[in-house]
Structure 1
Amino acid sequence: MGREEQLHINVPSLFRCPISLDVMRSPVSLCTGVTYDRSSIQRWLESGHQTCPATNQPLPSTDFVPNLTLHRLIHLWTQSSSSARLRDSLAPPPAARSSPSEILALTERIATGTARESCCGALKKAAEFASYREENRRFLAGSDGFVAAVVRVLTRGGEGSSESEIEVLELAVRVLESILTENGVKERLNKLLLRSDRGNCLSPMVSLLRSGRLASKIGAVRILDSIAVDNESKRSIAETEGVLAESIRLLVADTDESLRDVVLPLLIKLAVARSMKARLVQLGLVPILSGFISDQDSTGPTVERALRLTQMVSTVAEGRQAVSEDASLAGSLVGRLMKASRAATEDAVAVLWSVCCVCGDARVKERVARSGGMTKVLLVMQSEEDAGVKKMCSDLMKALRSGCETVDSGMVSYETRTTHIRHR
């Protein structure tokens, strides 16, 4: 029996994080009562999830509290003589035990190093140091010039696509992602990547979206999401050559759910300007979203984000046309009514209202009617409290009853919590 098998058998399941399956270093509990390692559950929540990973229960609150009892039990267990070999296996690598002065020296090497080997070695040590414990990550984030040094390596890589260049970019993103949630890091990255003297410095991110490994793609998307803090930065990111195209390509080319869980929220953030919505439609986003909405195997978060994005692009003429031309989307939207969250149901109603009432598309009305749309819309109208959504449902009922009769959409408007649509 190998050493890894022995460790797997001997580790009490209670001590393993349900997400990473590793022994928890900082156990914290959600409101559902399930305990996770802090770093794992932070990643889960920051990627946009609103459910407990172990139970799939919706979370009324995403706050968590340290599980001090379990932390103490794990500490006692790892200190026991019967767990000596496991304790050895959990010991941090040399780089994780580095002193602050050694890390500061690493920062200098990262900032001034030009040789690939030197940069890779320094970045690997920084990544090991950051991965060991929260205190290390806070130290790196607060170290003068550290973030700027890593960004300098990242931007030096430019649009490199060779294997060695991609490796350097991946290591830089790995280090930045590890400290992304620390105080002030997102703000510094926003300034360094979007507001530097060199202008927009996001081409390395595009290279990773195109050629990086899965973990690097996820890291690159998370960094882009973190620096999209206002309309100016969102527009700058969206207008960067390749960001939107590569993001959409990932939704088609890679079926990994963890990647989808970060790409869809990023696109929701970036789809604020009319031009960006039209661009997303041009790049073929609507058929992809239609596939997520109609797929019964799609998870709740994926469906809700797909409905949100569909609603957002349906506020422009190009989006409404794409929705109308998708033969299956109207029926899928009807099928999701009352079967998703309240917000997702409102998004589905808004899309149907856009194509049936604003556009008055007879083909879509027929598809909605054939799918039992009148009954579903009536149920939503009866259960809905929001006056704007009730008005949309009422308009939909009239449009569906009248067959090909077109609603005077120029006189109708609605406002949901986040969107105001007017006939264009």
Structure 2
Amino acid sequence: MFFSRRILGRVGRGGRKKKVLRIGSRREMITPTHFLCPISLDLMKDPVTLSTGISYDRENIEKWLGEGNRTCPVTNQELTSYDLIPNHAIRRMIQEWCVDNRSHGIERIPTPRIPVSSSEVSEMCARLEAATGRGDHQECLELLGKMKGLAKESERDKKCIAESGAGRVLSACFQAFSTENKYEVEDLVKEVLSALKWMFPVGEESKSMLGSKPSLRCMAWILKGQDSSAKRNVVIVLKKLLSLDHTYANILAQVDEDVPQALFEMVKSPTCPSARKAPLEVIYRMVASSPEANGKFVKMGLPSLVLEILVDAEKGVAEKALAVLDGICESQEGRDNICSHPLTMALLVKKIMRLSEMGTELCVSIMWKLLCKGEDENQVVEALELGGFQKLLVVLQVGCGENTKERATELLKLMNLYQDRVQCLHNSSGFKYLKKSY
């Protein structure tokens, strides 16, 4: 109701206000108010009419309805139908007005494409499924190009494609051609992956096809290649697949022994800092699920690399990096490797209360695994000297999850045994973090 009154206040009850466009310093041009969308008050590019008879720009009213609203923004009437009927008459009037005023710098609004329908997508999927069954690589590529072209038209079309079963068909296509000579179908499998990355979450059938050994082996093959764009698409698909079912991480580690090295290189030399997020998440799933993969990552120096990334990483990357360290700490070899790095304890203590609630919980978890499972007294003393005792007290005071609370308490009890070896244990400066929020 509040939104409707605000809209009515802007457009007026008895008549609409006029929008003035200033052209240069001496001339003003008035835009006809019935050309403006009542929601955004901008010129309508694709006017559509609701069942209440009020016209809106398609993008704005779709967003309104997509947020769960079931009323007309202007009249506040309950909608009897959610059909959006194109208003061709007003659209042509807007286009003519734009042409008439092109001397004032007004560009003609192009005729909008008709949104794709679920029946059109279903027909396209059926053709793609048939072409996959015949092994017709070229026709699959053409149909996929058409599907991706439609998706580029608007977010609505992309959503329609994803919700009309395209994910299952593309998953089947990828699995089918993964068993072919990869060099002959390389362009197709790469294009399928670039489309699949925005079709998640997928159903159980799609998940099992993408998680099959042939599919994972094909993804591993692309990861080891030189096409950086295709490699990014692979890690995005893997990240989303493993988030649905982490058991595929163990299969991924088994199908190709070079996968850890390929992921390591992507983290070591990213195209941009944020490009580390997806490969770090895939690595986390692998180290948490596969002891063999965990050992490989440790031997190639992943803990040192991740600690160096943590020094100045932004929040999203730092959280993923901490998750990887937490997974590596599950093994004795991993804990020993992490403890041997001079930055470890300093970074963990520093990051507590600095990133997010998740970041703090991960720091406490890693410290607990290193100190409570380890036998290195020097690590405990170092944590005390760096203010770890005070930081953990603050964590308990501001509140945390039950598991984190238990681990923080256990760490405090352990540190208390070594307080006589640290002179500045009771320095209250650590409590300045009380005022920091997540």
TM-score > 0.5 by shorter chain: yes
Q: What residue number does 2:407 align with?
A: 389
Residue by residue over 1:136-194, the C-alpha shift from the partner in whole angstroms, topping out at 9 and shown as x without a partner, is 33334388x55423432344354x4xxx754322212123234333xxx3422332233
How big is the shift at 1:293?
Answer: 2.0
Instruction: Tell me the SS of whatever aligns to 2:200.
Output: coil
Q: Which one has a bigger Cα radius of gyration? A: 2
Question: Among 360, 374, 377, which residue is 1:345 paired with?
Answer: 360
- Structure 2 residue 300 is matched with structure 1 residue 283: yes
Alignment partner of 1:170 is 2:190: yes
| Structure with more relative contact order (C-alpha pairs < 8 Å, separation 6 or more) | 1
Seen in structure 2, the aligned counterparts of structure 1 residues 93 and 306 have a Cα distance that, compared at 3 Å, is same
Aligned mates of 2:87, 2:302 — CA distance in 1: 49
**Mapped partners of 1:396, 1:36: distance in 2:** 55
Q: 1:96 to 1:65 in 2, by over 3 A?
A: closer
**Cα 1:326–1:25 shift into 2, 3 Å:** farther
Contact 2:223 2:231 in 1 (8 A): yes
Q: Check conservation: 2:249, 2:289, Cα contact below 8 A.
A: no
**Aligned with 1:316 (options 303, 306, 331):** 331
Q: Could you say which residue in structure 1 is the equivalent of 2:419? A: 401
Instruction: Note if contact 2:372-2:411 (Cα within 8 Å) is conserved in structure 1.
Output: no
Provide the C-alpha distance between the structure 2 equivalents of 1:255 and 1:169, rounded to a whole number of angstroms: 22
Match of 2:289 among 264, 273, 294: 273
1:213, CA displacement in angstroms?
A: 4.5
| CA gap 1:165/1:400 in 2 versus in 1, 3 angstroms | farther
5+ unaligned residues in a row in structure 2: which ranges? 1-36, 43-56, 75-81, 100-106, 423-438
What is the alpha-carbon distance in structure 2 between the residues aligned to residue 65 and residue 268 of structure 1? 36
Aligned match of 1:329 in 339, 344, 353?
A: 344
Percent identical residues: 17
Listed one character per residue, the Cα deviations across residues 99-128 of structure 1 (whole Å, up to 9, x for unaligned) are: 75455334433442455x544323212322
**The one of 228, 237, 259 aligned to 2:252:** 237
Q: Does the 8 A contact of 1:248 with 1:285 survive in 2? A: yes
Q: Give the length in aligned residue pairs.
A: 343
* Paired position in structure 2 for 1:148: 172
Q: Is the 8 A contact 1:109 1:119 kept in 2?
A: yes
The question of whether the paired residues in 2 share the 8 Å contact of 1:173 and 1:220 is answered with yes
Alignment of 1:89-104 (within 5 A): 91=113, 101=123, 104=126
Q: Show the 5 A alignment for 1:145-224.
A: 147-156=171-180, 158=182, 160=183, 165-181=185-201, 185-195=202-212, 199-211=213-225, 213-224=227-238
Structure 1 residue 205 displacement after superposition: 1.0
Partner residue in 1 for 2:127 = 105
**Deviation (angstroms), 1:388:** 0.7
What SS is found at the alignment partner of 1:377?
A: helix
Structure 1: distance between partners of 2:232 and 2:414: 40
Q: Of residues 211, 221, 240 in structure 2, which corresponds to 1:226?
A: 240
From the superposition, tell whether residues 142 and 278 of structure 1 become closer, same or farther in structure 2 (CA, over 3 Å).
Answer: closer
Residue aligned with 1:211, SS: coil
1:124 to 145, 169, 173: 145
The alignment partner of 2:164 has SS state of: helix
* 1:102–1:234 Cα change, 3 Å: closer
Counterpart of 2:310 (choices 267, 280, 293) is 293
Correspondence for 2:277 among 261, 279, 297: 261
Q: 1:294 to 1:99 in 2, by over 3 A?
A: closer
Could you tell me which amino acid in structure 2 is paired with residue 128 of structure 1? G
1:397 deviation in Å? 2.0
Q: Structure 1, residues 192-228: CA drift from partner, whole Å, max 9, x if none?
A: 2334xxx443122123323364543333223223333
- CA gap of 1:393–1:189, structure 2 versus 1, over 3 A, is same
**AA at the equivalent of 2:265:** R
The match for 1:248 is: 264
TM-score (norm 1): 0.65
Going from structure 1 to structure 2, the CA distance change for 1:113 and 1:90 (only over 3 Å counts) comes to farther
Could you tell me whether the CA contact under 8 Å between 1:93 and 1:128 is conserved in 2?
A: no
- CA 1:146–1:220: 2 relative to 1, 3 Å: closer
Q: Within 2, Cα distance between the matches of 1:394 and 1:358?
A: 14
Q: Deviations over 1:334-379 (max 9, x none)?
A: 1111223233213212222332332232443454344333332333
Shift in CA distance, 37/120, structure 1 to aligned 2, threshold 3 Å: farther
Matched, 1:139 2:156: no
Q: CA RMSD in A?
A: 4.4
SS state of the match for residue 156, structure 1? coil
CA displacement, residues 284-334 of structure 1 (integer Å, 9 cap, x when unaligned)? 221222123221xx2212212222221222122111111111111211111
TM-score scaled to structure 2, two decimals?
Answer: 0.63
Between stretches 117-126 and 313-322, larger displacement belongs to 117-126
Contact 1:307–1:348, Cα closer than 8 Å, also in 2: yes
Q: Confirm or deny: 8 A CA contact 1:130 1:136 kept in the other structure.
A: yes
Q: Is the 8 A contact 1:238 1:270 kept in 2?
A: yes
Partner Cα separation in structure 2 for residue 240 and residue 215 of structure 1: 22
Q: Distance in 2 between matches of 1:400 and 1:109?
A: 70
